[in-house]
Structure 1
Amino acid sequence: MRQLLLVSLLVVSPAVLAKTECSSADKAQWQDQNNFQEALKTQGYEIKKFKVTDGNCYEIYGKNKEGKKVEIYFDPVSGKKVKEEID
């Protein structure tokens, strides 16, 4: 049983620990953070937390226009969603 648990952890761990990569572009090409957040708010998002990740993403925690909790990673250049989790 213990071996099965260890094998399961080894198989799952890389996927869990993998960070989301959004952009390799120079930061001079990124959209302005404040303008980007304002654009999201006009689309109906409520932003509780905004940050720039190690994978060069704009990441928000908050609610979508339906009021559901979201965690979304955006490409800071194009503004497109790269990954979205909805509760």
Structure 2
Amino acid sequence: MTLKLKLIAAALLALAPTAALADADCTAEPKEKWMSEAAMKAKIDALGYKVKTFQVSGSCYEIYGWTKEGKRAEVYFNPVSGEIVKSEIE
């Protein structure tokens, strides 16, 4: 294996865990069954998150912001139940 191929392989392996964190599978339910964005935002607020960005990401509601303790947070929510599916807190 050439040096160039080794470097490419190493770069791809380094990126693999990041790509896996980016996707969450939150629900298979159709969007008609999702809670409204306003209701989800109210639930997130009640959980104590300060939201910088709120968005639909695949089959999830996703936020970027801070926990009530002030730690940075990326959180994926099931849009039907409002439960946290995946979170990354720094």
Do they fold alike, i.e. is TM over 0.5? yes
The number of aligned residues is 86
2:82 and 2:43 map into 1 onto residues whose CA distance is 10
Q: Sequence identity, in percent?
A: 38
Which digits, 9 at most, give the CA deviation of each residue in 1:1-38, with x for residues without a partner?
43322122333445433432211111111111101111
One-letter amino acid matched to 2:5 = Q
Aligned to 2:8: 6
Structure 1 runs (4+) deviating above 6 angstroms are none
SS of alignment partner, residue 78 of structure 1: coil
SS of alignment partner, residue 65 of structure 1: coil
Task: Say yes or no: does 1:40 pair with 2:44.
Answer: yes
One-letter amino acid matched to 1:66 = E
1:61 and 1:10 map into 2 onto residues whose CA distance is 25
**Gaps (5+ residues) in structure 2?**
none
How do residues 46-65 of structure 1 correspond to structure 2 at under 5 angstroms?
46-53=50-57, 55-65=58-68
RMSD of equivalent CA atoms: 1.8
TM-score by length of 1: 0.82
Aligned to 1:79: 82
2:89 and 2:37 map into 1 onto residues whose CA distance is 22
Report which stretch shifted further, 17-26 or 74-83.
17-26
One-letter amino acid matched to 1:71 = E
